[in-house]
Amino acid sequence: MTKTTILLSLAVIFMAAVPVAAQNNKYAAAVFTVTPEMTCQNCENKIKTNIRFEKGVNDIRTNIKDRTVTVKYNPKVTNEEKLIAAFKKIGYVAKPVNATSADKK
């Protein structure tokens, strides 16, 4: 095999593997900004400790610098609306952020 053939075969294997990996990942992620804004550790902890126990939530990350909350959840159990309702229960208005803009730093 030539070097090009090997590279091409590798590329084909990669392209075939990616959709399978995506299917196996049963979690979705949503990024929110909250009002009032998180300005200190207390806000972060309040959000984390409460949302963590929401049904279907797998993981929660807060970014105080970007003022964002990223929630990893099982889409079969919960959804963005339910998460927003959970934020509301603890006194926050959560707004979904476009994931691509949240990734930019």
Helix (H) / strand (E) element for 23: namely helix 3-24
Task: Show the tokens assigned to 43.
Answer: 């806000």
For residue 10, the cross-strand partners are none
Q: Which of 40, 98, 101, 104 binds Cu ion (CB under 5 A)?
A: 40
Compute the least distance from the CB of residue 73 to Cu ion, in Å. 24
Compute the least distance from the CB of residue 65 to Cu ion, in Å. 14
Q: Is 43 in the site for Cu ion (CB under 5 A)?
A: yes
Q: Compute the chain's Rg from CA coordinates.
A: 18
Q: Is 69 in the site for Cu ion (CB under 5 A)?
A: no
Helix (H) / strand (E) element for 67: namely none
* Residues engaged in binding Cu ion (CB under 5 A): 39-40, 42-43
